[in-house]
Each structure stands twice: as C-alpha cells, then as structure tokens.
Structure 1
Amino acid sequence: MSKSIISIKQFFSLFRLAISGRAQDFTTGSIRKAVFLLSVPMILEMLMESVFAVVDIFFVSKVSVNAVATIGLTESVVTLIYAIAIGLSMAATAIVARRIGEKDVSGASQAAVQVIFLGVAVAVIISIIGIMFPKEILQLMGGAPDLIEEGYGYTQILLGGNVTIMLLFLINAIFRGAGDASIAMWTLILSNGLNIILDPILIFGFGPIPELGVKGAAIATTIGRGAAVIFQLFILCYGWSKIKIQLKDIVLRIGVMLNLIKVSLGGIGQFLIGTSSWVFLMRIMSEFGSEVLAGYTIAIRVMMFTLMPAWGMSNAAATLVGQNLGANQPERAERSVWKTGKYCAYFMGIVSIGYLVFATEIISWFSLEPNVIKNGSLCLRIMAAGYVFYAYGMVVINSFNGSGDTLTPTIINFICFWLFQLPFAYIMALTFDFGPTGVFLAIVIAEILISVIAIIWFKKGRWKLIKV
C-alpha cells in the first residue's frame, strides 16, 4: 500500500515537472524518466492540435453536411501545407536537438532563425494561391457546385492565413528539439482556448457579430493560431526557453540554411508522398457523395484526436535520439526508441478497443444522419484494427527523422503509399465495388506495412551514423 502511494506521489511530482518547463538534461539519467518528461507535454501539445479539428467539426456539423464536407476537402489540401511544415519541423527538431546535445546553444538559435525564414517564404506563396483560387481548389477536389458556393470562404481564409499553421508547427519543433516541450504545449493551449471561444460566436453569430457559417470556423482557427505564434515569438526573443534569438541572429546564414534545406528535403518529400496520397484517397471518397465524405471526415478527425498523443510520444523519441546522438550516445538513443514504442503501443491498444466497441456512439455525437453515422463508424472500426502497429510505426519513423535520416522514411512512404495504398484503394473501391470499405482497408493495411518495414530497417542501425 505504501509503495503504491509513493509511486502515485512520484507520478504527480514528475507530471508537474514535465509541464513546468524546467530545464532538463536528457542525455543522462533514467531513460524512462526522460521519456515521461518529454512525452507528457508533447502528448498534451498534440492533443491540443487535434482539438482544433474536433471542435471545428462539432460546431460546423450543426450548419450542414456540405459544410462538414467542405472542411474535409479543404483539410485534404491543407495537409500539403502540413507536409511542408512537418518536413521543415523535422529538420528543425533534428538540428536543434543535435546542437543542444553538443552544448552548442548559439548554433541552435541560428538554426531556429533560418527555419522561421524558410517557413514565412513558403507560406506567402501558398497564401497567394489560396486567396486567388479557392473555388478552383474545391472544384479540383471534386466538390459539388452548391458545396463550393457555401464553403469557398472557409478555403480562402484557411489557406490565405496558412502562415499561422506554418509558424506554429515550426517554432514548436524548435522548442521540442531544445527539450522545451512544455512551452510548445502552452502555446497550443492558448490557441485552442481562443478557437473554442470564437468558433460558436463567429459560426452562429452573437450580438453585433453576424452569422458567418463555415467561414467563421476558418476565421476563429486562424485567430487562435495567430495569437499562439505571437506568443511563441515573444518567448524566443525574451529567452524563456533554452534558445534565445538575439538581434545578431536575425541574418541569413547560407551555410546553416543549406544544411537545414538538405535535412528537410527528405522530410518534405516524405510527407508530400503521404499527404498527396491522402488527397487522392479523398478524391476517391468524393465519388460516393457528401454523406459518405462527411462520415469519413468525422471519423478521421476523431482518430486524429487519439493519434496525436501517439505522435507526441514519437516526437519525444525524436528529441531523445537527436540529443543523445549529439552527445555521442547512440546506444542510449536506441534504447529510448524501444521504450517509447512500448508505452505508445499500450496506449494505442486501449484506444483501439474503445473505438471497436463505441464507434457508432462516437460518430453520432457529430451527426444524426444515418448514412454519415454508418460510414463514419465503419471507418473508425477498420482503422482501429491497426492501432498497435501504428504506435511502433510512428515512433520508429520519427526516430529516423530525429537522427536526421529523413531519406529512409521517404522511401518507406513511397513504397507503402504510392506503390501499394493508392492502387489497392482504387481497385478495391471502384473496380471490385467494395465502395468506401475498400479505401478504409487500403489505409489500414498500408500503415501496418509501414510499421513492419520501418522496424526491420531501424534494426540495421545505419541511422546512428547520420551527421547533421
């Protein structure tokens, strides 16, 4: 009894330490403690990121089926922005973590500035396209004319303000690489709080504020993310994290920039492969009508809510790999990955049981349309069957990225997504008339395949020799 009380006290003590943001050295001491201290704020951060999606769907589902489908089509395009942001953030985490492991804080700060420069440059280009061609983008994705007219404002605002998405990802990646995961967590809490308050006000109207419908969700999300970015920049400039950007750092450094681009190209390619395949899957789903598309969109948003904690744990593994390789401790880096993968598998296994049992009830929280519930719950159950595999796959893939080896996951994604998933989904859904079920099966089998190949490749150990 006394031992259990002590362990509970220790748990809450470590939990408070994890969210406090107090500086830690993750290259020495207990690996289990290091995984916990990094994972807790990263899990909470990723949960906050997925709350954006769930909150928007919850409120927008009260507007119309077309409004929900609009979010699904737009988000499938926004995933291309995520691909670039996540690819750059991989490089940011890997390089910053390596410099922190080497005790080179100045080098980490210089890398952070170049990351921000790159993010802003890319975001400006995407903003111009999003503002000028929102209707064409939705039409390209297979949206019906009435859906386009109702929802193009959402697409225009979300893509036009994508700099908030880009910088939120990149600056949080800088904090994670430095081991300051709690700061990344608090920025997401701020942005989500604003989004939750503003969503119903802007979507349904309040007092002098007119009812904006689905467009209001985009405005609320952009304001929430924008406020978080301002908070992040304030922290970087005033040195509340391990990294402090000074005036002398705000210059273009070609050497640092080229190193960053070299590492990020693999990450960007990796996620462009994954997310472009997601766009094509959404295009296949649009063949079955707005109700099926809405059910699929709701199920994916719900899944993201539980995939994000697993992603948080995988980010913890990436930071531990980067910092321990920087400290010339490759064996400690490897042990960190297997421990994190085990904890992630426990979590995902529990979640999968919940989805298998309560899928219909969960989808019905977001829609009362029978066909939406039917397809959404079917998607959720099929996806949940592979959750334990996802756990190890996400941790191992992100560990490659944390080492700076972004090429290996790119090759794995190409094989599993483009050479397997897309042809399999098309043939099963449209040629053999499995319909949406064919798409769902293609997704889960491809993810299992990724996990198996990644683990085999990881055990070869070549990632330990990567220099960044």
Structure 2
Amino acid sequence: MEKENKMGVMPINRLLINMSVPMMISMLVQSLYNIVDSIFVARISEEALTSVSLAFPIQNLMIALSVGVGVGVNALVSRRIGQKRYDDANLTAENGVFLNILHSFFFVIIGAFLVPLFFSSQTSNADIIYHGTNYLRIITFFSLGSFLQITFERLLQSTGLTFYAMISQVVGAVTNIILDPIFIFGWFGLPAMGTMGAAWATVTGQVLAASLGIYFNFRHNKELTLSVRAFRPKLNIIKEIYAIGLPSIIMMAIGSVLNLAMNNILIAFSTTATAVYGVYFRLQGFVFMPVFGMNNGLIPIIGYNYGARYPDRIRETIKLSVRYATVIMTVGLIGFQIFPSFLLSLFNPSPEMYKIGITALRILSLHFVPAGASIVLSSVFQAFGLGKYSLAISMIRQVVLLLPIAYLMSLTGNINNIWWAFLISETVSLLLCLYFMKIINKNHIVPLYKLAI
C-alpha cells in the first residue's frame, strides 16, 4: 500500500507546528535581515534610509509576482499530490519555475530604463535619488536569484519539506546580514559602496538561497520529479496557477501602490516622516513574518486535505492558525506599546524622527491583532482556490478604506491622525473575512462530509 503524505495523517496541531515553525524561523531571520539592512543604511545618512524606503514599492512588486506564482503552485501541487496526480503536480511545478524566470526579465527592463524616473517622480532631493538609483538598479538587474529562491522554497513547502525551505532562506538571509557591513562600509580592504553595498549583499544572499533551494528539490523532494529537457509551457496549467496566484499578485501590487502613495502623503510633511514609515515597515515585519510563515505551512495542509476530502482536518487547521496568529500579534502589540523608543534607537534617529516615530509606532501597532486573523483567513481562501475573496478583502482594505482615510486625515495637518487609518481599515477587513469564511464553510467544507461517506 502507498504510504500517505504526513499532511493527511499527522495530528493537526503537531502537523501545523511541524510545517510552520521552520518557515516562521526563516521568515523571522528574513525580517531580521530587513531590519539590520536598514540599521546599516541609516548609518550612511537619513537620505540613504529614505531612498531605501522609497525603493520598497518596486521590491514589493517583485515579491508580489514571485510569491503570487508560488501561492498558486503551492496550492495546486499539494492538492494534486493529495489526489495522487503526480504527473500533473510535476507539470505544475515546472510551469511555476518558467513563469518566475519570465518575471525576472521584466524587472531587468525596469531597472535599465525606469529607476531614475521612479525616484525623481517622488522627490527632488539629489542625495535620495542618487542612493536610491544605485540601490534599486542592482536589485532589479539581479532579480533572478530572488524569483528562483521563492519558487523552489514554495515547491519544498508544497510537499511538506519545510525544513529544507527554512535552511535555504536562513542561509540566504544570514549571508546578507554578514555581507551588509562588509560591502556598505568597506571592511577587510574592500571599497565602501554605501547603498550599492547593501544591494550587492541582498542579491548575493538571494542567489545562494536559490542555489540551495534548487539542490534540495532535486536531492530530497521525492514527490516531484522536475525535468528541464522535457519541459514545455502548458497554457492550461499557467492559467490555473494565475487563477489562484493572481489575487495574491494584485494584493501585493496594491500594497506597492499603497506604499508609494503613503510615501507621497508623508513626504509632504517631511522626508523624516517617510523615513519613519519605512522604519515601521521593517519593524512590523518582525511581527507579521511569523504569521506569513505559518500561512506557508497551512496552505499545503488545507490544499492536501481538501483534495483528500478530510473536512475535520481542514477545520482544525483553520482554528489553530487563527489562534496562533492572535497570540503572535498580541505579543507584537505589547512590544510596540512598551518599547517604541528603543525600537527607533536602532536606526540612528534624529530628534525629529523620535518625535514622529514614538507616537506612530504606538498607534500603528493597534491594528496588529485584527490583521493577524485577516491574514490567516485570506490564506485559507487561497488554499481553496478562492483567491477572489482575498483580492476583494485587499482592495477594500487598501484602496477603498486605508488610502482615502489616510489622505483625509493628512488634510487635518496633524501627521498622527494618518496612522489611525490602519486600525479602521483592518477592523472592517476582518469583519468581511469572517463573512467570506462563513460562505466557504457552507459551500466547500460542509459538502466534504457527504462525499466522505
């Protein structure tokens, strides 16, 4: 008898921990890299820190495309393995790799022709444009490492091999952290490269992580057999990947537009306000990343058990995930409320940054708890192949609520009022998530009990 994958037999609490903890650790290390990277860049100048903050929307768009394809591949591969359709799982994985290679070439074009225009459209500060252009051109020219890293990590996750995915991501992030000060400040006889050094450290870590991900898949992933020579693009599979992953792409792309718009709202107050927002995003990643790591574990669990028709395991996975996310976010909220001054002190802050940042961190962190539940439920929607619900939530939260409210609050002339837009939009989003979850339970989970009889 064929041995069933652990996602169909291991107790759910143990399985969720087994699948999620490695990814949570790797996400924490990745978030730590983002913080350390900004700490070193802040030592160059506040303009350098602001330039990296302004570059984030383009980097986020890169992540959006790679993760979106990864979400589609993850959900489809795990579901097809649950259905014992191994050939289809292989074809899906191969087409996912193909798509993210194409995406990397798209960003090479952006890096070659649009980066200076991107920065000059946001600021006339020559130092910010100089630092930002040097940084972002390297990131985009060598984006293939980032795209392949995420692709092959998601393939490992889709078959339950999250430990190997953790290893590749941790090694890449640690390499990045080690190389940051060496390249930025010119240690060990190397030239001091400033923000260019931060970019070179980033792409070097990504290439190393991608190389490990490729090795682990071909060496240890026994449920997938990838073939480079026999590969041919399959339009129907590409459509399926995008059908599930496109909502994630759009959601994160909307996030890029939101960050770009928020930067423009805040820079009207001062460049320091924009730097504070960039610092917040790196700090909040240390709270949010463990939840995203857990989501990387729960998507294949739900996908597999949906394909295998195990509704009780699906329900238990969802309940435990929401519970764990709430605990993580509550801890983050407490930390931001008690230690905002310490958190800001990591980034060589000016008195003005302290003045704006302490209040900002305390207000912004109030939305952590509802955001945790919303993030988990949005991933549940994607695991069922219903990314349209996740997309609707993201559109309403960011386009309909967050950005207009932030703009209206900015008209009061008090920058502190802008931060309340996050709590308002996240609370409404959670209510919508609960409504959509009720629909999924009725139409997709409950019918599985009848099919299982």
Matching residue of 2:374: 393
Structure 1: which amino acid aligns with 2:282?
R
Matching residue of 1:346: 327
CA distance in 2, matches of 1:427, 1:405: 33
CA distance in 1, matches of 2:225, 2:32: 29
Matching residue of 1:446: 425
CA distance in 2, matches of 1:43, 1:212: 32
Matching residue of 2:439: 460
Are residues 119 and 293 of structure 1, via their aligned partners in 2, closer, same or farther at CA, if it must alter by over 3 Å?
same
CA distance in 2, matches of 1:249, 1:444: 50
Matching residue of 1:99: 80
Normalised to the residue count of structure 1, the TM-score between the two structures is 0.90
CA distance in 1, matches of 2:364, 2:224: 39
Matching residue of 2:293: 312
The farther-off stretch of 244-253 and 419-428 is 244-253
CA distance in 2, matches of 1:360, 1:463: 48
Are residues 463 and 124 of structure 1, via their aligned partners in 2, closer, same or farther at CA, if it must alter by over 3 Å?
farther
Please say if residues 48 and 195 of structure 2, whose CA atoms lie closer than 8 Å, have aligned partners that are also in contact: yes
- The match for 2:103 among 122, 145, 150 is 122
- 2:64 aligned with 1:64, yes or no? no
Please say if residues 296 and 375 of structure 1, whose CA atoms lie closer than 8 Å, have aligned partners that are also in contact: no
- Deviation, 1:228, is 0.8
- Deviation, 1:459, is 1.6
CA distance in 2, matches of 1:282, 1:124: 27
CA distance in 2, matches of 1:378, 1:269: 31
Q: In the TM superposition, what whole-angstrom CA distance separates every residue of 1:147-183 from its partner, at most 9, and x where no partner exists?
A: 1123310011112222222222222222222211111
- Deviation, 1:247, is 4.3
Matching residue of 2:451: none
Normalised to the residue count of structure 2, the TM-score between the two structures is 0.93
Structure 2: which amino acid aligns with 1:385?
L
Are residues 242 and 135 of structure 1, via their aligned partners in 2, closer, same or farther at CA, if it must alter by over 3 Å?
same
* 1:234-313 alignment, distance < 5 Å: 234-240=215-221, 242-247=223-228, 250-313=231-294
Please say if residues 45 and 188 of structure 1, whose CA atoms lie closer than 8 Å, have aligned partners that are also in contact: yes
The farther-off stretch of 115-124 and 362-371 is 362-371
Identity of aligned residues (%): 25
Matching residue of 2:168: 187
- Deviation, 1:387, is 1.6
Are residues 246 and 239 of structure 1, via their aligned partners in 2, closer, same or farther at CA, if it must alter by over 3 Å?
farther
CA distance in 1, matches of 2:124, 2:401: 26
CA distance in 2, matches of 1:193, 1:29: 32
Please say if residues 168 and 209 of structure 2, whose CA atoms lie closer than 8 Å, have aligned partners that are also in contact: yes
- 2:379 aligned with 1:423, yes or no? no
- C-alpha root-mean-square deviation of aligned residues, in Å? 2.0
Q: In the TM superposition, what whole-angstrom CA distance separates every residue of 1:99-137 from its partner, at most 9, and x where no partner exists?
A: 122133332222111011111111101111113332111
- 2:40 aligned with 1:86, yes or no? no
Please say if residues 76 and 282 of structure 1, whose CA atoms lie closer than 8 Å, have aligned partners that are also in contact: no
CA distance in 2, matches of 1:285, 1:244: 49
Please say if residues 367 and 373 of structure 1, whose CA atoms lie closer than 8 Å, have aligned partners that are also in contact: no
Q: In the TM superposition, what whole-angstrom CA distance separates every residue of 1:55-91 from its partner, at most 9, and x where no partner exists?
A: 2111111110011001100012211222222221211
- Deviation, 1:24, is 5.3
CA distance in 1, matches of 2:87, 2:355: 55
CA distance in 2, matches of 1:273, 1:297: 17
Please say if residues 60 and 68 of structure 1, whose CA atoms lie closer than 8 Å, have aligned partners that are also in contact: yes
Structure 2: which amino acid aligns with 1:339?
L
Please say if residues 330 and 464 of structure 1, whose CA atoms lie closer than 8 Å, have aligned partners that are also in contact: no
- The match for 1:201 among 182, 185, 192 is 182
Alignment partner of 2:7: what SS? coil
- The match for 2:208 among 208, 227, 237 is 227
- The match for 1:31 among 6, 12, 15 is 12
- 2:121 aligned with 1:150, yes or no? no
- Deviation, 1:361, is 1.1
Are residues 189 and 296 of structure 1, via their aligned partners in 2, closer, same or farther at CA, if it must alter by over 3 Å?
same
- Deviation, 1:394, is 0.9
Are residues 113 and 439 of structure 1, via their aligned partners in 2, closer, same or farther at CA, if it must alter by over 3 Å?
farther
Are residues 317 and 239 of structure 1, via their aligned partners in 2, closer, same or farther at CA, if it must alter by over 3 Å?
closer
- Runs (4+) of structure 1 exceeding 6 A deviation are none
Structure 2: which amino acid aligns with 1:454?
C
- The match for 1:172 among 131, 138, 153 is 153
CA distance in 2, matches of 1:357, 1:425: 25
CA distance in 2, matches of 1:91, 1:71: 30
The farther-off stretch of 231-240 and 277-286 is 231-240
- 2:356 aligned with 1:375, yes or no? yes
The farther-off stretch of 131-140 and 355-364 is 131-140
Matching residue of 2:305: 324
Structure 1 unaligned residues grouped into runs of 5+: 1-22
CA distance in 2, matches of 1:173, 1:455: 27
